[in-house]
Structure 1
């Protein structure tokens, strides 16, 4: 979870967003539909009375990955969590998204044909303002726009015909009953991050050659909310009532998660076409992915604890993990007394010794 000043300048991203969390843990790497990739929160540049929160899921989507492309999971609960009151433990506001797919033309393998879309996806939003005790439905049958398959499928007479893709996206922006604007759908992954170099033992910036954008030309599925600041402020106050930029009553924390049912049953009944190949889920919901500060689980938590970390909340952190933050692995490669030469790309970040009038910032030293 990260803090956000609602009353900052035009907009603010309250973390150094230089990497994101794609396939960051062994378990979630096998479950891309529930994989949080990025989280953004900032003052809306088009309207400073609003905060925009964007949670991305489903990494490394090939735009030409037909015929089924990529949809939000029907059996995944996607949530955006907000803490706006430091005096009370846990979340204060939760937005819960659930999705449903429909097959409009079962006679074809094409995703779009003759004005119909297969795996057409709609969603409902439920909102809690009491920490998850109760939920109110604030939007029903929101529409996820189709994948931008190509000109024949989107605008051609044998496809959807009649709308450009930009028009379809704009039609998918909806207003909730409680004042939020929302969009859910496929978008270009906005990061530039040299994943190949980073995971080649920290060859970033690359010692030989220019950096390469590891997510270039890949898509993600986004959940975007534009929320009035008065909806987020714990007493419903307008931003003009804030007592300066550090007014603690106008600070929120934001994180996002994905959960699945505990039990999954695959039905195989070749004699009954109605149940052939049907998947059923039941039981309690179990959180299997989360993100607040990008890169935390990807490059701070070691592989032995990554799945466990994804199952926790910001309010139930395991103190055993604190040492990973106090002594992060990457810091070892910034100290020439230890493993610095193993990662030459980090040489510009070498720990300074005897700087600031003799303070030693070497590994294991007291520093300041």
Structure 2
């Protein structure tokens, strides 16, 4: 239930390693413009207060953020996160003496939690962060350390169980924002891993019910969908687990041209043997080489672009292997589905006689630029290798939060999607518009309507229409400080329903 939730058949069985969203942008927190922030979200669809076990990460897995600084579609830097879950008190957690017998309680917590190492929390979740230079499996490894004290183990805060357990969740969670010493980098960065409120605005149910609404803004099209939070299935309703990393720009651009590419992955050992006498400490035995099972960069690619038989193939692939799946970008099926569903209603409403509203410029060079190569005048890397990565031009200054445009580059806000992605960018609306040919029309760049030369307006009959799923979002809904995404929602106490 996010931009890459349940998008591949095999991944539906492994929710803890399900990549959902990647955000990458120049930090717009005041005073932090010399940094780039990357936020990799996992475990989508978390119900607020979903206890008693909540949403720990998979200790068998490795979670990674990869950065390509020169454009060869190979990682130059990888930031690898590895988690461990530990029951305190010798593996018993919190215990109580019941009639002379000391017994572990059934819950993770037994009192109010306010401290970073609160004794009322019986299970703790820690992680290590490793920087890998070069190949993610054979490259040079170096531990990332806490800039205060030098420890190489960090702690993830407990999920938001509710007000009685965590009376001030933001203050509690902020104790787990760490300044970090990045190997080979003179300037400290920052890291935070923990539960956050979902930030991806999307009208999921009706969208996958064969787009059960008219996907044009009702303010400009008769019968079109009206923008409303009521159309949103995630924001204000669900949580997610975020891995947030802020790094100095000077330490990630390498020898490239200042444009970096990034993607996130999760991998599991090849073999897992279940223990028939399972316990907390011994649920299974895992072994073998790490195998990538989840991958994400730009939103909605595996949802709406990759064909059903190859969705798990895409999740297992490296960017260097994306040529094998290029047909899904050059000859996309999603616009054809939109044509089947909406050509007749559009013609009837507008009195037009379109024979096909899907863009006709095949192969779709505009989509190749948006998803595989970067746009030449915006975010193309030093070496151009067709590969599905999110690309960010770090030379473009960040836009202050309150001035950001939700349609990013399409609204002349060059610091936004598809030049990276910020929490306040409306990725669904932008993806719909690009898929239907928005880049065939001039786009505003520094106030000048600019023809990108990728295709022509005649190629895309509805490419300039205000396509939308009706679920709005705004940068002002999010924090103006790292880690940007809001504190997670809780379900306790419940908000009383109004009396009729």
TM-score (norm 2): 0.58
Which residue of the other structure, out of 217, 221, 233, is the alignment partner of 1:214? 233
| Cα 1:344–1:279 shift into 2, 3 Å | farther
Which residue of the other structure, out of 263, 272, 297, is the alignment partner of 1:264? 272
| Cα 1:91–1:279 shift into 2, 3 Å | same
Residue in structure 2 matched with residue 305 of structure 1 by the alignment: 310
Matched, 1:190 2:199: yes
Alpha-carbon offset, residue 269 of structure 1: 3.6
| Cα 1:344–1:193 shift into 2, 3 Å | farther
- Show the 5 A alignment for 1:112-123: 112-114=109-111, 115-123=119-127
Which residue of the other structure, out of 283, 286, 294, is the alignment partner of 1:281? 286
Between the aligned partners of 1:307 and 1:51, the Cα distance in structure 2 is: 30
Between the aligned partners of 1:62 and 1:341, the Cα distance in structure 2 is: 38
Alpha-carbon offset, residue 208 of structure 1: 8.9
Alpha-carbon offset, residue 263 of structure 1: 0.4
Alpha-carbon offset, residue 344 of structure 1: 6.9
Q: CA RMSD in A?
A: 2.9
Give the 3-state SS of the residue equivalent to 1:230 in structure 2: helix
Contact 1:258 1:288 in 2 (8 A): yes
Alpha-carbon offset, residue 278 of structure 1: 2.4
Contact 1:51 1:227 in 2 (8 A): yes
Residue in structure 2 matched with residue 365 of structure 1 by the alignment: none
Which residue of the other structure, out of 85, 105, 112, is the alignment partner of 1:101? 85
Residue in structure 2 matched with residue 40 of structure 1 by the alignment: 23
Q: How far does the alpha carbon of each residue in 1:275-329 deviate from its partner, in whole angstroms, 9 at most, with x for none?
A: 7x6211111100000001110001111211111111001111242x222112212
Give the 3-state SS of the residue equivalent to 2:79 in structure 1: strand
Matched, 1:169 2:201: no
Aligned residues: 315
Between the aligned partners of 2:266 and 2:290, the Cα distance in structure 1 is: 10
Matched, 1:68 2:87: no
Unaligned runs of 5+ in 1: 1-18, 156-163, 236-247, 363-368
| Cα 1:128–1:204 shift into 2, 3 Å | farther
Contact 2:335 2:359 in 1 (8 A): no
| Cα 1:135–1:224 shift into 2, 3 Å | same
Q: How far does the alpha carbon of each residue in 1:109-142 deviate from its partner, in whole angstroms, 9 at most, with x for none?
A: 2221143324421100000122331211113221
TM-score (norm 1): 0.78
Between the aligned partners of 2:287 and 2:84, the Cα distance in structure 1 is: 16
Alpha-carbon offset, residue 51 of structure 1: 0.3
| Cα 1:331–1:148 shift into 2, 3 Å | same
Between the aligned partners of 1:325 and 1:151, the Cα distance in structure 2 is: 47
Between the aligned partners of 2:163 and 2:247, the Cα distance in structure 1 is: 34
Unaligned runs of 5+ in 2: 95-103, 112-118, 146-151, 183-187, 216-222, 351-355, 361-439, 442-455, 462-500
Between the aligned partners of 1:170 and 1:64, the Cα distance in structure 2 is: 19
Alpha-carbon offset, residue 70 of structure 1: 0.5
Contact 1:57 1:222 in 2 (8 A): yes
Contact 1:333 1:342 in 2 (8 A): no
Give the 3-state SS of the residue equivalent to 2:135 in structure 1: coil
